[in-house]
């Protein structure tokens, strides 16, 4: 997809002409002005507060004006149409890789995924399911309470609770495949088979309780 992960003011200011290609959706010509930046012609839309730039605030205003870039609205449409969103990724530094983090930053904006008020159980994506399907570099033994990395539920807290639950998703139990890179061929086939089998009955599953005890115990 070559998805742009960087959250910049270009997401608000709209049209960019780079190498003769239109990258984003233009805002109304009434609020545009031409400037030259590093030799590339840009058409910039007005910011709600040009004195102090706040990405979150400006994205909220752009969402309400329906002037977000096309790559963001395309992804938001996919989320809107989905009953279940599966995030498949390798664990990087106890989190998601940069492009997926950028996807969350840009796509799950205020007005679309949450509002204030309108988060956690009242999040705007309530009624949808989400699931993290993760591969790790470390072994299962490393991700236990007595392991060097701690219980795997610890690193799920900011992703499942702070992001997905915050936006209103009901979260299904994660699918974690530990250390496939060093697993045997037979073990890797078992991982794939277990995942395929789970997907056949995924709609029968109940969401996890998104509470502190689920992650950290009593």
What is the DSSP track for 19-71? Answer: TTEE-S----GGG-EEEEETTEEEEEPPPS-SSS--HHHHHHHHHHTT---HH
Please report the pLDDT score of residue 46 as a whole number: 78
Please report the pLDDT score of residue 14 as a whole number: 66
Residue 167 in this model has a pLDDT that exceeds 60: yes
Which position has the token pair 């609770």? 161
> Taking the CA of residue 13 as centre, how many other CA atoms within 13 Å lie in the half-sphere pointing to its CB?
18
- Does residue 108 belong to any structural domain of this protein? yes
- Does residue 189 belong to any structural domain of this protein? yes
The pTM of the full predicted model, rounded to 2 decimals, is 0.84
pLDDT digits over 2-49, tens only? 999 999 999 998 644 333 344 444 444 333 444 343 333 334 457 888
Provide the domain limits for residue 150: 16-32+82-216
Please report the pLDDT score of residue 42 as a whole number: 39
- Does residue 69 belong to any structural domain of this protein? no
- Does residue 141 belong to any structural domain of this protein? yes
- Does residue 86 belong to any structural domain of this protein? yes
**DSSP bridge partners of 129:** 84, 170
Q: Which percentage of the chain shows pLDDT scores above 70?
A: 85
DSSP secondary structure code for residue 8 in this structure: -
Question: How many independent structural domains does the chain possess?
Answer: 1
Share in percent of the chain as helix, strand, coil (round to 5): 40, 15, 45
Please report the pLDDT score of residue 41 as a whole number: 35
Cis peptide bond N-terminal to 117, omega within 30: yes
- Does residue 100 belong to any structural domain of this protein? yes
């Amino acid at each position: 997809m070559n998805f742009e992960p960087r959250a910049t003011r270009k997401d608000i200011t709209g049209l960019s002409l780079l190498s003769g290609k239109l990258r984003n959706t233009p805002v109304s010509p009434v609020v545009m002005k031409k400037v030259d930046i590093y030799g590339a012609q840009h058409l910039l839309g007005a910011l709600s507060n040009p004195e102090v730039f706040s990405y979150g605030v400006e994205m909220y205003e752009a969402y309400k004006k329906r002037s977000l870039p096309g790559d963001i609205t395309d992804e938001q449409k996919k989320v809107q149409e989905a009953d279940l969103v599966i995030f498949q990724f390798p664990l990087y530094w106890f989190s998601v890789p940069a492009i997926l983090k950028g996807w969350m930053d840009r796509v799950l904006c205020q007005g679309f995924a949450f509002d204030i008020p309108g988060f956690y159980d009242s999040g705007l994506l309530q009624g949808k399911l989400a699931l993290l399907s993760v591969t790790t570099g470390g072994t299962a033994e490393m991700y236990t309470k007595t392991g060097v990395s701690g219980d795997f539920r610890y690193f799920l807290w900011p992703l499942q609770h702070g992001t997905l639950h915050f936006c209103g998703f009901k979260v299904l139990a994660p699918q974690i495949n530990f250390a496939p890179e060093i697993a045997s061929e037979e073990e890797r086939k078992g991982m794939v088979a277990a995942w395929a089998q789970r997907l056949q009955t995924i709609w029968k599953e109940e969401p996890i309780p998104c509470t502190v005890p689920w992650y950290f115990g009593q």
